[in-house]
């Protein structure tokens, strides 16, 4: 018999919460996320006049080299359908926040690129978001719990990545 224990062997030795406690725990995680995220997006919308999808796209572009990403990649990262992304991109372009730029190497690729105005708005949105996060998450949780939460989310992202 092997000295190694499988996951099922370890699980039976640990005092696991009941099914109801486990489902309730996860519900609290989701409710906390939704309440916090909803408040965050509402405050950003009020203070910077950006819808959540537009905010997400501008922040992704702000964090990208040369403030640009291929539109298909940006749509995928923002979890938007191509049609949904096109509508958001059209609104952002009309507001002079992004421009579409064809790739010099591959005519099938079109980049979304922050305009100068888009860069200003994105930087202001990031500043406002950071201020709200400090007040709504970092202050109530404190440094240690905030770091633990980030590490837990990083672990879950890695464990559940497709």
pLDDT at residue 16, rounded to an integer:
84
Q: What is the pTM of this model?
A: 0.77
Q: How many CB atoms lie within 10 A of CB 44?
A: 21
Tens-digit pLDDT profile for residues 16-75: 889 999 999 999 999 999 998 999 999 999 999 999 889 999 999 999 999 999 998 998
pLDDT score of 12: 55
pLDDT reported for residue 150: 93
What pLDDT does 161 receive?
A: 84
Query: What CA–CA distance (Å, rounded) separates 47 from 134?
Result: 16
**Residues 131-146: tens digit of each pLDDT:** 999 998 999 999 999 9
Give tens-digit pLDDT for 105-124: 998 999 999 999 999 999 99
Q: Judge contact between 153 and 145, C-beta under 8 A.
A: no
Structure confidence by residue, pLDDT tens digits, 62-85: 999 999 999 989 988 888 777 888
The mean predicted confidence, pLDDT, of the chain is 88
From CA 98, how far away is CA 112, in angstroms rounded?
Answer: 6
Q: Is 49 left (phi over 0), alpha (psi -120 to 50) or beta?
A: left
């Amino acid at each position: 018999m092997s000295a190694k224990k499988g996951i099922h062997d370890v699980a039976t030795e640990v005092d696991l919460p009941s099914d109801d406690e486990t489902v309730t725990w996860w519900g609290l995680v989701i409710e906390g996320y939704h309440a916090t995220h909803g408040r965050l997006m509402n405050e950003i919308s009020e203070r910077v006049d950006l819808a959540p999808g537009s905010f997400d796209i501008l922040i992704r572009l702000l964090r990208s080299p040369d403030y640009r990403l291929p539109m298909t990649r940006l749509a995928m990262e923002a979890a938007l359908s191509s049609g949904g992304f096109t509508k958001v991109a059209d609104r952002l372009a009309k507001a002079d926040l992004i421009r579409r730029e064809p790739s010099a190497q591959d005519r099938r690729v079109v980049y979304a690129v922050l305009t100068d105005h888009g860069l200003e708005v994105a930087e202001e949105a990031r500043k406002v978001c950071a201020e709200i996060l400090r007040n709504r998450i970092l202050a109530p949780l404190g440094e240690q719990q905030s770091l633990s939460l980030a590490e837990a989310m990083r672990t879950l992202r890695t464990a559940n990545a497709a």
